[in-house]
Structure 1
Amino acid sequence: MDTSNPAVFVNAELLRLYVGRRVRAVVQVLRSDGGGSVMGKSTDEQQLVIKGHPPAPLSTFVEIIGIADTNQSIQAEIWTNFGDTFDTTSYNELCKYANGDFKHLFI
Protein backbone atom coordinates (compact mmCIF):
# COMPACT_ATOMS: atom_id res chain seq x y z
CA MET A 1 0.00 0.00 0.00
CA ASP A 2 1.36 3.41 -0.99
CA THR A 3 1.19 5.73 2.02
CA SER A 4 3.26 8.54 0.51
CA ASN A 5 0.19 10.42 -0.77
CA PRO A 6 -2.81 9.62 1.45
CA ALA A 7 -6.35 10.57 0.47
CA VAL A 8 -8.46 12.29 3.11
CA PHE A 9 -11.99 10.91 3.72
CA VAL A 10 -14.47 13.66 2.77
CA ASN A 11 -18.11 14.36 2.19
CA ALA A 12 -19.28 17.45 0.25
CA GLU A 13 -19.21 19.69 3.33
CA LEU A 14 -15.59 18.79 4.11
CA LEU A 15 -14.37 18.96 0.50
CA ARG A 16 -13.86 22.74 0.69
CA LEU A 17 -11.15 22.23 3.31
CA TYR A 18 -9.03 20.16 0.93
CA VAL A 19 -9.09 21.96 -2.44
CA GLY A 20 -5.87 21.05 -4.23
CA ARG A 21 -5.31 17.95 -2.12
CA ARG A 22 -5.96 14.26 -2.60
CA VAL A 23 -9.33 13.11 -1.24
CA ARG A 24 -11.59 10.07 -1.25
CA ALA A 25 -15.37 10.20 -1.28
CA VAL A 26 -18.32 7.94 -1.91
CA VAL A 27 -21.11 9.27 -4.11
CA GLN A 28 -24.42 7.98 -5.33
CA VAL A 29 -24.37 8.35 -9.11
CA LEU A 30 -27.23 10.59 -10.23
CA ARG A 31 -26.23 10.95 -13.87
CA SER A 32 -23.29 10.61 -16.21
CA ASP A 33 -22.93 12.87 -19.21
CA GLY A 34 -20.82 10.34 -21.07
CA GLY A 35 -18.21 13.03 -21.72
CA GLY A 36 -16.09 12.67 -18.66
CA SER A 37 -18.15 13.92 -15.74
CA VAL A 38 -20.58 12.40 -13.28
CA MET A 39 -23.07 14.20 -11.07
CA GLY A 40 -23.29 12.47 -7.73
CA LYS A 41 -24.86 12.85 -4.33
CA SER A 42 -22.40 12.80 -1.45
CA THR A 43 -23.07 10.91 1.77
CA ASP A 44 -24.18 14.20 3.36
CA GLU A 45 -26.88 14.62 0.67
CA GLN A 46 -25.10 17.38 -1.30
CA GLN A 47 -24.28 17.24 -4.99
CA LEU A 48 -20.73 16.88 -6.30
CA VAL A 49 -19.30 16.83 -9.80
CA ILE A 50 -16.77 14.10 -10.45
CA LYS A 51 -14.52 14.77 -13.45
CA GLY A 52 -12.61 12.10 -15.31
CA HIS A 53 -13.29 8.94 -17.22
CA PRO A 54 -15.41 6.51 -15.19
CA PRO A 55 -15.41 2.80 -15.86
CA ALA A 56 -18.42 1.36 -17.60
CA PRO A 57 -20.80 0.37 -16.25
CA LEU A 58 -21.02 2.42 -13.06
CA SER A 59 -22.79 0.99 -10.04
CA THR A 60 -25.18 3.14 -8.00
CA PHE A 61 -22.48 3.93 -5.41
CA VAL A 62 -18.90 4.73 -6.38
CA GLU A 63 -15.79 5.58 -4.37
CA ILE A 64 -13.64 8.28 -5.93
CA ILE A 65 -10.00 9.00 -5.12
CA GLY A 66 -8.63 12.14 -6.71
CA ILE A 67 -7.81 15.81 -6.35
CA ALA A 68 -10.39 18.24 -4.99
CA ASP A 69 -10.30 20.93 -7.66
CA THR A 70 -13.13 23.09 -6.26
CA ASN A 71 -15.36 22.95 -3.21
CA GLN A 72 -17.91 21.02 -5.29
CA SER A 73 -15.81 18.90 -7.65
CA ILE A 74 -13.16 16.21 -7.69
CA GLN A 75 -10.81 15.32 -10.54
CA ALA A 76 -10.94 11.53 -10.24
CA GLU A 77 -7.83 9.35 -10.44
CA ILE A 78 -9.39 6.09 -9.22
CA TRP A 79 -13.02 4.95 -9.55
CA THR A 80 -14.24 1.94 -7.57
CA ASN A 81 -17.74 0.55 -7.96
CA PHE A 82 -19.28 -0.06 -4.50
CA GLY A 83 -22.48 -1.74 -5.68
CA ASP A 84 -26.12 -0.75 -5.60
CA THR A 85 -26.59 -0.53 -1.82
CA PHE A 86 -24.35 1.33 0.61
CA ASP A 87 -24.63 2.63 4.18
CA THR A 88 -24.16 6.34 3.51
CA THR A 89 -24.87 7.29 7.13
CA SER A 90 -21.95 5.26 8.48
CA TYR A 91 -19.59 6.56 5.79
CA ASN A 92 -20.65 10.13 6.55
CA GLU A 93 -19.87 9.56 10.24
CA LEU A 94 -16.46 8.16 9.27
CA CYS A 95 -15.75 11.37 7.34
CA LYS A 96 -16.60 13.44 10.42
CA TYR A 97 -14.39 11.32 12.69
CA ALA A 98 -11.53 11.34 10.20
CA ASN A 99 -11.61 15.13 10.17
CA GLY A 100 -12.26 15.70 13.88
CA ASP A 101 -10.56 14.44 17.01
CA PHE A 102 -9.17 11.41 15.17
CA LYS A 103 -7.71 13.35 12.23
CA HIS A 104 -4.16 12.33 13.11
CA LEU A 105 -5.06 8.68 12.51
CA PHE A 106 -6.29 9.26 8.95
CA ILE A 107 -3.92 11.87 7.49
Structure 2
Amino acid sequence: MNSTETDNACPAAIVNGEMLKMFIGQRVCTVLKVQHSEGGVLVGQSTDGHQLTIRGAPEVPESHYMHVIGIADNNQSIHAEVCKDFGENFDAMSFNGLCKLAVHGKVKDLKMFL
Protein backbone atom coordinates (compact mmCIF):
# COMPACT_ATOMS: atom_id res chain seq x y z
CA MET A 1 0.00 0.00 0.00
CA ASN A 2 1.50 3.36 -0.97
CA SER A 3 1.22 6.52 1.14
CA THR A 4 -1.68 7.91 -0.95
CA GLU A 5 -3.71 4.73 -0.41
CA THR A 6 -2.91 4.81 3.29
CA ASP A 7 -3.96 8.45 3.57
CA ASN A 8 -7.31 7.80 1.86
CA ALA A 9 -8.05 4.58 3.76
CA CYS A 10 -7.37 6.05 7.18
CA PRO A 11 -8.14 9.77 7.40
CA ALA A 12 -6.34 11.95 9.93
CA ALA A 13 -7.77 14.67 12.16
CA ILE A 14 -6.19 18.04 11.36
CA VAL A 15 -4.91 19.42 14.66
CA ASN A 16 -2.75 22.08 16.27
CA GLY A 17 -0.91 21.61 19.58
CA GLU A 18 -3.88 22.46 21.80
CA MET A 19 -6.20 20.04 19.97
CA LEU A 20 -3.78 17.10 20.02
CA LYS A 21 -5.01 16.01 23.48
CA MET A 22 -8.46 15.30 22.01
CA PHE A 23 -7.04 12.70 19.60
CA ILE A 24 -4.65 10.55 21.68
CA GLY A 25 -4.33 7.12 20.08
CA GLN A 26 -5.78 8.38 16.80
CA ARG A 27 -4.30 9.37 13.46
CA VAL A 28 -3.60 13.10 13.24
CA CYS A 29 -2.17 15.60 10.79
CA THR A 30 -0.30 18.73 11.86
CA VAL A 31 2.38 21.21 10.83
CA LEU A 32 5.15 22.40 13.13
CA LYS A 33 8.26 24.56 12.96
CA VAL A 34 11.37 22.49 13.64
CA GLN A 35 13.44 23.56 16.66
CA HIS A 36 15.87 20.62 16.61
CA SER A 37 16.10 17.10 15.26
CA GLU A 38 18.35 14.21 16.25
CA GLY A 39 18.23 10.45 15.86
CA GLY A 40 14.69 10.22 14.53
CA VAL A 41 13.26 12.47 17.24
CA LEU A 42 12.23 15.96 16.27
CA VAL A 43 11.13 18.78 18.58
CA GLY A 44 9.15 21.64 17.14
CA GLN A 45 6.59 24.33 17.79
CA SER A 46 3.01 23.85 16.63
CA THR A 47 1.19 26.59 14.76
CA ASP A 48 -0.44 27.67 18.04
CA GLY A 49 2.83 27.75 20.02
CA HIS A 50 2.88 24.34 21.76
CA GLN A 51 6.09 22.30 21.88
CA LEU A 52 5.62 18.89 20.26
CA THR A 53 7.88 15.85 19.92
CA ILE A 54 7.73 13.79 16.73
CA ARG A 55 9.16 10.26 16.89
CA GLY A 56 10.24 8.52 13.70
CA ALA A 57 10.80 11.79 11.83
CA PRO A 58 13.57 12.36 9.28
CA GLU A 59 16.27 14.96 9.87
CA VAL A 60 14.91 18.39 8.89
CA PRO A 61 16.79 21.70 9.11
CA GLU A 62 15.95 23.99 12.01
CA SER A 63 13.38 26.69 11.26
CA HIS A 64 11.75 24.60 8.51
CA TYR A 65 8.08 23.73 8.72
CA MET A 66 7.21 20.05 8.61
CA HIS A 67 3.89 18.39 7.78
CA VAL A 68 3.35 15.27 9.91
CA ILE A 69 0.77 12.50 9.73
CA GLY A 70 0.92 9.93 12.51
CA ILE A 71 -0.56 8.56 15.72
CA ALA A 72 -0.90 10.90 18.71
CA ASP A 73 1.00 9.20 21.56
CA ASN A 74 0.00 11.79 24.16
CA ASN A 75 -0.83 15.51 24.34
CA GLN A 76 2.71 16.48 23.24
CA SER A 77 3.94 13.61 21.06
CA ILE A 78 3.18 12.03 17.69
CA HIS A 79 4.62 8.82 16.22
CA ALA A 80 5.18 9.84 12.58
CA GLU A 81 3.97 7.76 9.64
CA VAL A 82 4.42 10.39 6.90
CA CYS A 83 6.54 13.56 7.03
CA LYS A 84 7.11 16.28 4.45
CA ASP A 85 9.48 19.23 4.68
CA PHE A 86 7.54 22.40 3.76
CA GLY A 87 10.65 24.61 3.88
CA GLU A 88 10.97 27.93 5.69
CA ASN A 89 7.93 29.69 4.22
CA PHE A 90 4.58 28.50 5.53
CA ASP A 91 1.48 30.40 6.65
CA ALA A 92 1.19 29.00 10.19
CA MET A 93 -1.67 31.35 11.11
CA SER A 94 -3.83 30.10 8.21
CA PHE A 95 -3.12 26.46 9.10
CA ASN A 96 -4.06 27.17 12.71
CA GLY A 97 -7.36 28.64 11.48
CA LEU A 98 -7.95 25.55 9.33
CA CYS A 99 -7.45 23.36 12.43
CA LYS A 100 -10.14 25.29 14.27
CA LEU A 101 -12.57 24.98 11.36
CA ALA A 102 -11.88 21.25 11.01
CA VAL A 103 -12.35 20.39 14.69
CA HIS A 104 -15.65 22.28 14.80
CA GLY A 105 -16.96 20.51 11.70
CA LYS A 106 -17.05 23.64 9.53
CA VAL A 107 -15.09 21.95 6.73
CA LYS A 108 -16.24 18.51 5.53
CA ASP A 109 -13.52 17.44 3.07
CA LEU A 110 -10.00 18.75 3.63
CA LYS A 111 -8.17 16.63 1.02
CA MET A 112 -8.01 19.66 -1.24
CA PHE A 113 -6.05 21.59 1.42
CA LEU A 114 -3.35 19.02 2.26
Q: What TM-score, normalized to structure 2?
A: 0.83
Distance 1:79 1:58, change over 3 A: farther
Aligned to 2:9: 4
Give the SS at the match of 1:12: coil
Q: Does 1:16 align with 2:12?
A: no
Aligned to 1:26: 31
The CA deviation at 1:35 is: 1.5
Give the superposed CA RMSD.
1.6
Aligned to 1:92: 96
Contact 2:34/2:60 (8 A) holds in 1: no
Give the SS at the match of 2:18: helix
Give the SS at the match of 1:20: coil
Distance 1:100 1:79, change over 3 A: same
Q: What TM-score, normalized to structure 1?
A: 0.88
Aligned partners of 1:72, 1:57: CA distance in 2, in Å? 19
1:60-99 maps to which residues of 2 (within 5 A)? 60-99=64-103
The CA deviation at 1:15 is: 0.3
Give the SS at the match of 1:6: coil
Aligned partners of 1:19, 1:65: CA distance in 2, in Å? 13
Deviates most, 56-65 or 4-13: 56-65
The CA deviation at 1:4 is: 2.0
Give the SS at the match of 1:92: helix
Aligned to 1:46: 50
